């Protein structure tokens, strides 16, 4: 019972912080998500590289956070894209820094952290500034994306726990995540659909009805795969959680695993519809 209470409180605080950062102002979004990027990358690098290689990790995280921040100012306030050259200037240092360590191992994971984590977060700025370069910020679409993902997580957990466990359950991907079931997927789809319907009625989702349905389906599917990708990663390294920063939930990477694949999907969908 205590674990459920701790998990619930931790989850409520997390949701409140993320939504508040998105909806208060562009600069609360910038500050909170820059910190999130650094934590998610740090957990990924600690998981994949292990202890040591401090400078390699710091340089990787610096490049990732800088990519997010510069993308924010380029898309939101018209900064010159030339400033993005600061990112590859740091990236080219990664293999050089790695030369001074005892093994070559780790450099591939440093590069992977930029593609798997930093790039999706940087792309999120396309949603934050749907009319680029004019400083007009909109956190509602990004908030809707998270609400759909969180709703699907809750539905998947509840339905999976009630109907997907034991001999009568139908396992989704037992070799990677034995507890995930098709019953959970169905439950997650239902709750994601309900959340999207509410968001559509209230005008938070700004697409047509068909657009809202398509957006929700794509986000839900990308979220499922994002969750499985991180499950495979953790299973490969023999850990239950990527971190411990959130009591009852694990680390930041555990909280944003679904979003890492959903971000690019949402951006591409938004760009196709709105240019």
Measured between alpha carbons, how far is 135 from 244 in angstroms, rounded to an integer?
36
Asked whether the beta carbons of 169 and 197 are under 8 A apart, the reply is no
What pLDDT score was predicted for residue 246?
A: 73
Model pLDDT for residues 55-100, shown as the tens digit of each residue: 999 999 999 999 999 999 999 998 999 999 999 999 999 999 999 8
Model pLDDT for residues 17-36, shown as the tens digit of each residue: 999 999 999 999 999 999 99
| Runs of H (alpha helix) within 202-251 | 209-237
Burial of 163 (0-12, 13-18, 19+ CB in 10 A): middle
SS3 state of residue 83: helix
φ, ψ (nearest 5 deg) of residue 131: -115, 95
Instruction: Name residues whose C-beta falls within 8 Å of residue 57's C-beta, 6 or more positions apart in sequence.
Output: 42, 45, 46, 49, 110
Model pLDDT for residues 214-262, shown as the tens digit of each residue: 999 999 999 999 999 999 999 888 888 887 777 666 789 999 999 999 9
The pLDDT-based confidence of 165 (bands split at 50, 70, 90) is: confident
| Runs of H (alpha helix) within the chain | 2-24, 26-49, 54-77, 86-91, 93-99, 107-113, 119-123, 125-128, 140-163, 182-201, 209-237, 252-274
Domain ranges of the chain: 26-130, 137-275
């Amino acid at each position: 019972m205590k674990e459920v209470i701790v998990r619930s409180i931790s989850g409520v605080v997390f949701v409140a912080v993320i939504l508040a950062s998105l909806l208060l102002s562009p600069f609360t979004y910038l500050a909170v998500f820059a910190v999130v990027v650094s934590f998610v990358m740090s957990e990924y690098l600690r998981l994949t590289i292990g202890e040591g290689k401090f400078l390699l990790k710091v340089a990787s995280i610096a490049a990732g956070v800088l990519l997010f921040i510069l993308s924010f100012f380029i898309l939101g306030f018209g900064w010159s894209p030339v400033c993005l050259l600061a990112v590859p200037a740091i990236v080219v240092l990664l293999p050089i820094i790695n030369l001074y360590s005892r093994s070559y191992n780790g450099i591939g994971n440093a590069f992977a952290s930029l593609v798997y984590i930093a790039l999706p977060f940087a792309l999120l700025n396309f949603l934050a500034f749907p009319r680029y370069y004019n400083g007009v910020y909109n956190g509602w679409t990004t908030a809707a994306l998270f609400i759909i993902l969180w709703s699907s997580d809750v539905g998947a957990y509840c339905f999976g726990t009630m109907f997907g466990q034991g001999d009568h359950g139908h396992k989704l991907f037992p070799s990677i995540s034995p507890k995930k079931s098709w019953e959970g997927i169905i439950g997650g789809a239902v709750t994601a659909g309900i959340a999207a319907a509410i968001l559509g009625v209230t005008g938070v989702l700004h697409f047509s009805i068909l657009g809202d349905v398509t957006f929700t389906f794509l986000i839900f599917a990308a979220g499922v795969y994002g969750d499985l990708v991180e499950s495979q990663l953790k299973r490969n390294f023999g850990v239950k959680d990527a971190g411990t920063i959130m009591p009852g939930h694990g680390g930041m990477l555990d909280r944003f695993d679904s979003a890492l694949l959903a971000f690019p999907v949402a951006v591409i969908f938004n760009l196709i519809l709105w240019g």
